[in-house]
Structure 1
Amino acid sequence: MRNFHVFPRIVLATVPALLLMVSAACHKQVPEQAVRAQLAALQAAMDARDATAVRDLLATDFIGEQGLEKRGAHQLAAGLFLRYREVSAKIGPIQVEVLDPSNAIARFNLLATGGSGGLLPDSGQVFAVETGWQYIDGHWLLRNASWKPAL
């Protein structure tokens, strides 16, 4: 049960990373497609174990669970990548709600894996994640993220 608290941190670290990897192309897409592309980039950054890419996907004023901010999310991702040799995030079906041309919400389920192929947390619990996105200076960036056990 000790690793239960690690999984929400992986969720937070995962969401921002996907954003940076496709930010250059996102301004040419409709908001829903751009947000989906950013989530794909976040998953790719997690798979690549790139904490800087995770950080770069976050808005300057990013806020996550328990007040986690951008710098803390970057440090958390870096720490997880050092601790777990094979960190990976599996994002389930994504529902995107476009609020206006520069704001959107994406909801999805997430399962993180790590260590030597074991599930994180040990219980293998899936989380329901809600993320808020904003189009800032030509890029869709993650402004907030929250999660709760899905099962």
Structure 2
Amino acid sequence: MQAAAEARDAGALADAVSVEFIGPDGMDRDQFRRTLALVWLRDQQVGVQLGPLDVKLVGDGATVAFTAGTSGGAGWLPERGQLHRVKTGWRLEDGEWMLVSASWEPML
């Protein structure tokens, strides 16, 4: 998903997000996609750097917690950046891991 976000590949991102996705404030899969589209419209260059992943497997699901550094701007040098604390929920669906939930909060 990190590579797809940086490549602005909405199709690859959507393929990894479950139709049952729930994000902050009840965000659904389509709202998640539209949020990414807004970021891509605002920032010609988008960067994502992930910190260590804390993965916990439970049955056919998993949780993954990590920090993410995000940056964006119009040129080679980022114009803005933020660190986020991220928690995600995943479920194995037809042999593929699908994102079913996500929450994030700024750390700065």
Using the size of structure 2 for normalisation, the TM-score is: 0.89
Report what 2:13 is aligned to. 54
Aligned residues: 106
Aligned 8 A contact 1:52 1:74 in 2: no
- Whole-angstrom CA distance in 2 between matches of 1:62 and 1:135: 13
CA distance in 2, matches of 1:119, 1:142: 29
Name the structure where helix makes up a greater proportion of residues. 1
Please show how residues 108-119 of structure 1 align to structure 2 within 5 Å: 108-115=66-73, 116=75, 117-118=77-78
Q: Does 1:134 align with 2:94?
A: no
Q: CA deviation at 1:125?
A: 3.4
Task: From the two aligned structures, give the one with the greater strand fraction.
Answer: 2
Aligned-pair RMSD on alpha carbons?
1.4
Aligned residue identity for 1:43: Q
Paired-residue identity, %: 37
Q: Aligned equivalents of 2:79 and 2:50: distance in 1?
A: 14
Structure 1 pair 141/119, CA: closer, same or farther in 2 (3 Å)? farther
1:87 aligned residue (43, 46, 49): 46
Name the CA distance, whole Å, in 2 between partners of 1:45 and 1:107.
Answer: 19
- Higher RCO (C-alpha 8 Å, min separation 6): 1
Structure 2 contact 64–87 (Cα < 8 Å) conserved: yes
Normalised TM-score (structure 1): 0.65
- d(CA) in 2 for partners of 1:113 and 1:51? 18
Q: Gapped runs of 5+ residues in structure 2?
A: none
Q: Which runs of 5+ in 1 are unaligned?
A: 1-41
- How has the CA–CA distance of structure 1 residues 119 and 98 changed in structure 2, closer, same or farther, with 3 Å as cutoff? farther
**8 Å Cα contact 1:84/1:114 also seen in 2:** yes
